[in-house]
Every structure is written in C-alpha cells, then in structure tokens.
Structure 1
Amino acid sequence: MISSMTAFARSSRSGPLGEFTWELRSVNHRYLELSLRLPDTLRGLESRVRDLANRELSRGKVDIGLRYVPPVEAASLELNEPALQAVISAAMRVRDHLGAHTESLNPLDLLRWPGVVKSADGADQETLENEAMHALQAAFGELKATRRREGDRLAELIEERAAGVLELATKIGERIPAIREAWRDKLRERIAALGVPVEPARLEQELVLAAQKGDIAEELDRIGIHVKEIRSSLHKGGAVGRRLDFLMQELGREANTVGSKAIDMEITQAAVGLKVLIEQMREQIQNIE
C-alpha cells in the first residue's frame, strides 16, 4: 500500500487538563520537512514532536500546529513559587547587565513563562505534555490513514496509465515487421527508378543497415520491464516515490529513443502517446511518499 504526501488531519482531546487540538497539513516534498507551531506552555514538546514525525513519516512538507485551551477551573491561578522566583532572579541579572535603560519587568510576561503557573488540578508539566502527545498520536494516525486513501487513488491512476503504455508498446512491436517489409519495398522501388544496377549483396547490406537504424525492439523490451517494475513497486507499497520517479525517467528515455528511431508515422504518433502517458504518471508520482 502506497501513501500520498498530500493530506490533512485534525484531532482534539479534552479532559481535566484542558483541550488539545492538533492540526497537521502535509504536501509533497523531496524530503521530510517539518514546521511546528506550539503554544509557549508546551514549547518543550518540540523534540518529541519531531521524533514522532520522523518515525511516522518518510517524506513530505508537514505543518504541525497545536492549540491548547486550559480547563475552566484554571481561572484561579496557582503559582509555582520556586519557578517564579527563579525567572525573576534571572531577569534581574539580565537587567543589571543591560543597564538602567531597560524597561521594568512585566508581570504578564512572567506568567507566560512555562512552569510559572500550575494547572488547576496540580498536574506537572510532564503530565501536561504526555496528554498533548496522546492527542498528537491520534492526529498522526488520521493523517496516515488519509495519505493511504489518497495513495490508493494515485495507484489506480498510475496503473491505468501504465497499462496504456504497455498497450502502445505492444502495438508498436506488432507493427515492426510490416514496417520493415514496407521499407524494403520502398528501397527497391527507389533503386529501380534510378535505373542503376545494384548487386544483390549490396542491396541486402543497405536493407540490413536501414533495419538496424530503425530497430526499437530493445527499447520496447525495456519499456515492458519498467512497467513491470512500476506495478511491482505499487504492489509492494511503502515509501516507493523515489523509485517510481526513477522509473519514470527511464521510461521517458526509452520513449524518446523510440520517437527518434521511428521511420513510420504510426510509430511516431505512438511514441508521442507514450510520452503523454509517462508525463501523466510522473505528475501523479510527485505526490507519492
């Protein structure tokens, strides 16, 4: 099962410690890039959030935001006196270093400092952070489920186009013998029109050279192999986006060669069709993890 890198998830968890609401937004990216927005009270969660994201995801640009609403009972604030005194002492020392032109300490700024205000039920910071992480795990579960559902739809689209590539390659392969024979007849007609005698051996040599110049059997075989690898990767699942992107490059190279060697209008048109299907697959694969 493959996963898309484009998804959104929102998870809320309410309880005695308040309400925790996580929002996760994910879009395609070459690597895993995280952008975090955490309230000051829970800013210490950043390393844990990053660790969890790295375990859960492989690629994508992911925005992670948390909104925390303390419980109503927290209206009667309980100060953590040791923490408050430590913050005040540190602030006074900083002010002494800066000189007399510094502004006075703002009490509201002190209250915003993590750990200065205790929660209403006396829960410590670790308990608060653990509760927030439980809600985040649920959000990641929803995000991954959404990415998998989107991945299933992408896999169907890619499979349809891969089947189209294989169908066109098969038609081109079936057309080759008739093209070779038509080329032989055309070459004989041109020689006859010139009225110049040509040795049979020389004629056969020219026919062989022309056949080699327009031979695309190897390219068609490799196209079939690449399509088989694409299907295998889709069936295998996991983080296969980079592998699929590489296979698209190889398919594109083979399609370009088929087009450049084409000595027949039908093959030229089929080569254009191959390129269109490959480009459509490439666009879809950019969203695969």
Structure 2
Amino acid sequence: MSSRPDTARRTSLPPLDPGRFAPSADRPVRAKARPLARQADIQPHHHAWAQLVFSLEGTLRVSTLRPDGSGTSYLVPPAQAVWIPPGRTHSVTAVERVELRTVYLAAPQATQLPDWPEGRVMAVSPLLRELVQALALLSEQATLSAEALAREQALALLVRDELLRARPVPLGLALPGERRLRRLCEQMLAQPGRHADLEGWAAEVAASPRTLARLFREHLGTTFGQWRQQLLLAQALTLAARGRPVHLIATELGYRSPSAFGAMVKRTVGVSPGQFLASA
C-alpha cells in the first residue's frame, strides 16, 4: 500500500519553561498541560528529573536518544504514556493535534519506582489521567498555600501509586545511529503503509535491499519484517484510538484482509486484534 508523502508543515518548538515546572524538595512531583498542533516537534532536550508524558487526545511520537545517536521511538495513543528516565535526551512530536500532559518526578521520587533505565510504555488508567489533570492545575502556581501544598503532595502520592500499578505495554521501536538505516526508519515512522517490502524502501534511500537487511541485523539485531511489524502494531493502536474498526485498520496498514492482519497480531502479541486494540 502506498500513500503520498505527508505535506503538513512541521513546527519545531523549545521545551515550555522547563525550570518553571522543575520538581523540588518540597514539591517533588509536578505536572503541566500543553496543547500541540499537528506535526509540532518539541526539540531534543534532557533534565535531571524523570518524566511521564502522554496526551488526553491525539497521538504522540516520543523519541529517546543515547549519546551515540541510537535510541527508541514510541508511537502512543491517548490511553498510553511513555516513561523517560532522568538525564535521557528526548523529543516529542504531535502526530496529530494533541493535548499534552507531562509529569516531572524529582530523583528521590523516581528512585522509589522500579528501575526503568531505557524508558517504557505503560497504560494510563482513568484515575491516573484525572490525577495528572488535578496536579497540573496546582503546578501552574509558582507558590502554594499550606492547604494547596498538602493537596499537591497527596496527589503526588497517588500518582506514584498508579505508576507502580500501571500495566506495561510492549511497544517501542529501536532507532539506529547509522545514517542510512536511521533515514529509512524515520521515513517508515512518518508513513508506515507506504511500502510493504524492503525493495520499495530501498529505492527511496539509495541503498540495496541486501545492504539494508544487513544494517537491520547489525545495528538493530532484528530483521526488516520484525521491525516493521512493531511499527504496524503501534500504528494500529493509533488508528483504533481514532475509532477505526478492525477491517479499516487492516486496509490502511496494507493487509489484504482483516484475517491476515489478525493473524499478524495473534502471532506477534499472542492475543486477538480485538483484545489488543481495546487498549487504545
């Protein structure tokens, strides 16, 4: 299945006053709200505290980067969040218009949670969603009364408890540091259904299919087909979050029938498409 390149204009944005929302000893968990237009990018940055990022509506792409240029990209619908460990460089892209919500946790608070050094995707419970909403309203204020501070601290305790209980979601696409393969992976992320095979993509990045297959093995430890399957699963969740039924999702992802798409989902994650997409 092919499609035209996405011509939406990208907008690069700096982080929104990160120091203003920085967690501290007396306010160790802070939250903020930020709307993002479609195709808006928050530039790569890092900070000393841990971060949880998700959207109330719209799909996000969150990328974490290592010093060598490799990293992981997460394509997440509103029902899921990405955990980013302290010090990890990261960027955020709005695949469509989103209502961004971010939680910052000071290092002492983050270390009370399990060790997630590489980041992870987790489900956002209805309670966690509402807790972050309430916390963001308080975090907007530079100073709080004693009563408001006590409320913020109580909300912070509940947020941490919900993070401990959050169900992990096995999604995340490794991104290579190697220039040619990175270009290919970025193009596939932008247009997952553009080509179904490596030959189609090879023509666009000026490399042979054999070379690209070798680069997938050497730099990502996987095959093109396995990497693409993970991308299609993430895209399927995004489409499900927009209300698409299974048969239309299968068509948009280039499958000839819903049963072929269902077989891929069952083989990859071990559950039916209905069970898998219900998480979105």
- TM-score range (shorter-chain normalised) is under 0.3
- TM-score w.r.t. the length of structure 1 is 0.23
More strand by share: 2
Specify which structure has the bigger relative contact order, considering alpha-carbon pairs within 8 angstroms and separated by 6 or more residues. Answer: 1
State the TM-score, normalized to the length of structure 2. 0.24
